[in-house]
């Protein structure tokens, strides 16, 4: 996905790097994330028109902290590329340009008032920002000036406009910072002098062209459809590029929602003009997952079994077509890529490419087996979920697909805590179905980003009729979100929760208690595993 105006985000390990990228895109600029310690050559290859440094958990003065290429600032000066450093990014700028960063007496975490003093990209009056840092700038580099302070007089922003370098100690990308978007907009428009130019029509055109170039004129491609937005949009895009040389498969791994396989196949037939074959591989998947409790292991097993199933499907197809299948389409999204392999943190071996904070191995990124025989086509690899929905609209994918809540590839496997058994799947499917049906009934489904039930392998005491019960617990989860990167629990009316709880306890054998999850992301994640 190329653009003649790339805004580069250099990632130094902040969990908010993706948010910076999103904000820049929301403002209409194509943005790419690179690891902060990328070589200058790699950075130059993107021909960036502006560069942002993310925050990060390390301290710039530690020898093992992620550092910029030593020639970076010479290049930046020569090309006069505007740079905005956020938190660790500010400190990195100070450190590299001759200033001094030291450990602060106490960590600063949370809301803080900013008092601007003639800053070029901040509002002129005080506002609240969000901070998270343990180091502070003791000396600023030559040519820089302090352009905002905190109420206690601590340095908050610095700039050297001649050099086009600006540093912010707070995070403009998080919603807790007032005017955060405006500050980023001011940097891109005023400091960098850019005009927004990135739209979904350009994504469609460039992706179709890229797929045509990647896949030869005679090559056939397979695609696994999950019934969700991502794979459907990815397949539609590839179909637009190569027509009926695309062959889709829907794998029933036995951990789908209630009646999901039948429903999805009916949707594909009626609403999409894509030929799809359904493979029931549930027995194989469940056999491989017997006695497995560890969430990462579950994901890896499922990832591998998916690939084995695709291989069988492609072998059958190869016999029929009399030619090799080289490509597999996946609906991998940008957050999957970033969350599965974030930037290095202090103390990591950068050469080995090993990064410490892998939040989860998403099955389609972290879980691919070593002997993987396909080349991947991942047309959504640069997009966030809401951007995929926009692209789907652009491609006339029916609303019924675009409106569906996201469903993770490993399915109910990551919603059954502990071991997965056929009985547990049945219980969860029923409870989940009641919850989702109730959301539709109450007109709440489209107000929620994602909702589901979770099976907890604990038993709690209850009383039913005249007897004591000792049944399982089901947790309900419903969140609002823009992209799955951050999320808030949905504030249901208590009458709705009471109704759903009643229905589940009365209609699902083996469930004696229903609880509602009131955790946001962060600190929790959306899924329970």
Instruction: Kindly list the residues in this chain that would bind ligand XMP in the complex (CB under 6 A).
Output: 299, 360, 362-364, 406, 408-410, 450, 484, 521, 525-527
Nearer to ligand XMP by C-beta: 362 or 430?
A: 362
Show Cβ contacts of residue 467 under 8 Å, excluding neighbours closer than 6 positions. none
Output the CA–CA distances (angstroms, integers) from residue 151 to 84, 103, 154, 176, 349, in the order listed: 23, 20, 7, 18, 40
Element holding 393 (H helix, E strand): helix 385-394
DSSP annotation of 446 reads G
Nearer to ligand XMP by C-beta: 149 or 521?
A: 521
Q: Nearest approach, Cβ of 414 to ligand XMP (angstroms)?
A: 6
Nearer to ligand XMP by C-beta: 170 or 258?
A: 258
Q: Nearest approach, Cβ of 487 to ligand XMP (angstroms)?
A: 7
With CA atoms as reference, report the closest residue to 300 among 231, 362, 230.
362
What residue has token string 């943005």? 31
Phi, psi torsion values for 406, nearest 5 degrees = -60, 145
Q: Nearest approach, Cβ of 3 to ligand XMP (angstroms)?
A: 26
Burial of 242 (0-12, 13-18, 19+ CB in 10 A): buried
Helical axes 200-214 vs 385-394, angle rounded to 10°: 80
Nearer to ligand XMP by C-beta: 144 or 452?
A: 452
Does residue 419 have an active-site annotation? no
Q: Looking only at Cα atoms, what is the longest distance across the chain?
A: 82
Residue among 26, 95, 165, 173 flagged as catalytic? 173
Q: Nearest approach, Cβ of 418 to ligand XMP (angstroms)?
A: 17
CB 92 within 8 A of CB 68: yes
Output the CA–CA distances (angstroms, integers) from residue 86 to 10, 56, 90, in the order listed: 10, 9, 5
Residue 155, strand partner residues:
149
Does residue 173 have an active-site annotation? yes
Q: How far apart are CA 517 and CA 452, in angstroms?
A: 11
Q: Nearest approach, Cβ of 360 to ligand XMP (angstroms)?
A: 5
Residue among 95, 171, 239, 253 flagged as catalytic? 171
Does residue 171 have an active-site annotation? yes
Nearer to ligand XMP by C-beta: 282 or 519?
A: 519
Nearer to ligand XMP by C-beta: 37 or 378?
A: 378
Q: Nearest approach, Cβ of 355 to ligand XMP (angstroms)?
A: 16
Residue among 87, 165, 223, 505 flagged as catalytic? 87
Nearer to ligand XMP by C-beta: 163 or 381?
A: 381
**Beta strand spans in 117-164 (E):** 127-139, 145-150, 155-160
Q: Nearest approach, Cβ of 359 to ligand XMP (angstroms)?
A: 6
CB 269 within 8 A of CB 218: no
Find how far residue 334's CA is from the centre of its chain: 6
Please give the positions annotated as active site.
87, 171, 173
């Amino acid at each position: 996905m190329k653009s003649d105006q790339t805004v580069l985000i250099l990632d130094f390990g902040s969990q908010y790097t993706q948010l910076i990228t999103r904000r820049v895109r929301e403002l209409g600029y194509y943005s790419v994330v690179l690891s902060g310690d990328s070589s200058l050559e790699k950075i130059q290859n993107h021909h960036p028109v502006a560069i942002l440094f993310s925050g990060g958990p390390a301290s710039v003065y530690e020898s093992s902290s992620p550092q910029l290429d030593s020639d970076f600032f010479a290049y930046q000066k020569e090309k006069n590329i505007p740079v905005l450093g956020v938190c660790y990014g500010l400190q990195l700028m100070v450190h590299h340009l001759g200033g001094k960063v030291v450990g602060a007496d106490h960590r600063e975490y949370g809301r803080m008032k900013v008092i601007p003093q003639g800053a070029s990209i901040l509002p002129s009056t005080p506002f609240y920002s969000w901070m998270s840092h343990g180091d502070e700038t003791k000396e600023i580099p030559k040519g820089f000036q302090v352009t905002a302070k905190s109420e206690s007089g601590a340095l908050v922003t610095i700039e050297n406009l001649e050099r086009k370098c600006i540093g912010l100690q707070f995070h403009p990308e998080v919603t807790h910072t007032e005017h955060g978007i405006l500050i980023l907009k001011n940097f891109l428009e005023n400091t960098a002098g850019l005009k927004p130019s990135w739209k979904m029509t350009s994504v469609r055109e460039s992706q179709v062209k890229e797929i045509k170039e990647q896949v030869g004129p005679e090559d056939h491609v397979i695609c696994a459809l999950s019934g969700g937005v991502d794979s459907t949009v990815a397949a539609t895009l590839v179909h637009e590029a190569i027509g009926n040389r695309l062959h889709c498969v829907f794998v029933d791994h036995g951990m789908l929602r209630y009646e999901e396989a039948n429903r999805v196949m009916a949707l594909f037939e009626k609403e999409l003009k894509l030929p799809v074959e359904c493979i029931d591989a549930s027995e194989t998947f469940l056999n491989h997952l017997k006695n497995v409790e560890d969430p990462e292991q579950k994901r890896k097993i499922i990832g591998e079994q998916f690939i084995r199933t695709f291989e069988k499907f492609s072998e059958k197809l190869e016999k029929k077509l009399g030619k090799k299948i080289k490509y597999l389409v996946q609906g991998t999204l940008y957050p999957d890529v970033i969350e599965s392999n974030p930037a290095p943190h202090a103390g990591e071996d950068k050469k080995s490419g090993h990064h410490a904070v892998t939040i989860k191995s998403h099955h389609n990124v972290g879980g691919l087996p070593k002997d993987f025989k396909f080349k991947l086509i991942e047309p959504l690899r640069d997009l966030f979920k809401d951007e995929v929905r926009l692209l789907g609209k652009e491609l006339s994918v029916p609303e019924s697909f675009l409106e569906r809540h996201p469903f993770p590839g490993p399915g109910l496997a990551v919603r059954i805590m502990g071991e997965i058994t056929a009985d547990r799947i049945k219980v969860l499917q029923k409870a989940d179905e009641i919850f989702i049906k109730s959301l539709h009934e109450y007109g709440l489904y489209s107000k929620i980003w994602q909702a589901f039930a979770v099976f907890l392998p604990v038993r709690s005491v209850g009383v039913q009729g005249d007897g004591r019960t000792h049944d399982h617990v089901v947790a309900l989860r419903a969140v609002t979100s823009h992209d799955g990167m951050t999320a808030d629990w949905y504030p249901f009316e208590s009458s709705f929760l009471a109704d759903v709880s009643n229905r589940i306890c009365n209609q699902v054998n083996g469930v004696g208690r229903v609880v509602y999850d009131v955790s946001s992301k962060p600190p929790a994640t959306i899924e329970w595993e």
